[in-house]
Chain A
Amino acid sequence: MKLSGMSFFQMASQRMRWLGARQDVVAQNIANADTPGYKARDVGAFSQMVNDTRSPAGLAVTNAGHIQGSSKSTAPVRVEEDATAWEAGLDGNNVTLEQQTIKSAEVSENYRLAADLYRKGHDLVTLAVTGIR
């Protein structure tokens, strides 16, 4: 039995991967908060990543009979320009530190949640197998 084969663990690790990538993008925004012409970025929604059945080779799976290039867990996280940026400065930079800080805190909390869920799932599996808490 593979842990990654169970949808719960797969979902949790995908969620952590997505949150990691999102935090990376937020870090880039903050580092470039004073770079002229830099536009704030964000990643695509998590649901979009989960539903993205496109394999890394670029072949879409449109039929159940199609062979998937590789597992879904390697679906790329899309980085796009952030349309919800609060304001733009005179130099064309639209990064707002406050907005990015809020985002970063949100991501960090969600990451902890996902990690704790993963651990809880692991505990449940252990309990089911050994009967010892």
Chain B
Amino acid sequence: MDSLKSILSVAASGMRAQGERLKVVSENVANAASSGSTPGADPYQRKVISFAEMVDRDSGASMVEVADITRDTTEFELRYDPSHPAADPDGFVKVSNVQTVMEMSNMREASRSYEANLNMFETARRMRSSLLDLLK
């Protein structure tokens, strides 16, 4: 059955995209405290991932792909810490624009979507096996 087979690849593409999203989230969280090392240097700039629909040529099914990983251009916050190597002449250090709460909610959403795709995969497999059971 053709459509049941293409479900598997569609769900796999969804899982791959959500996995990539989770990777970006973990990069952001890991680098939340990364700052520059020279006076006035920029700290870590948050990464943002965006998805796009991709139509598979063979099956005509809409899969999903990672369109772009860009940088969040939100202004950096300033923190007063004159002893820091990245402090500017006034003693202010630029802090990364990663917001942990936002990253956490993003992470939850990614893992939920991943789960949904996984369930779809499982369901398609079950349907396929009930089709093949007709042969018994």
Q: Chain A residues in contact with chain B, CB under 8 A?
A: 16-17, 19-21, 23-24, 26-28, 30-38, 97, 100-101, 104-105, 107-108, 111-112, 115-116, 118-119, 122
Contacts and interface: CB of A to CB of B under 8 A. Distances in A.
A97 B108 CA distance: 14
6 contacts: A27-B6, A27-B7, A27-B61, A35-B52, A112-B130, A119-B133
Interface residues of B, number: 36
Interface of B: 1-4, 6-7, 10-11, 13-14, 17-18, 21, 50-53, 61-64, 109, 112-113, 116-117, 119-120, 123-124, 126-127, 130-131, 133-134
Nearest to A98: B116
Contacts of B130: 111-112, 115-116
- Leading 4 A-B pairs by shortest Cβ distance: A31-B14, A24-B3, A20-B3, A27-B7
Contacts of B119: 101, 104
Contacts of A115: 130-131, 133-134
Contacts of B17: 31, 34
Contacts of B18: 34
Contacts of A100: 116
B30 to A, nearest CB: 22
Nearest to B12: A31
Given A23-B4, A27-B7, A33 B124 contact: no
B51 A23 contact: no
B135 to A, nearest CB: 10
B22 to A, nearest CB: 12
Given A23-B3, A30-B11, A115-B131, A97 B113 contact: yes
B123 A104 contact: yes
Contacts of B2: 20
Contacts of B4: 20, 23-24
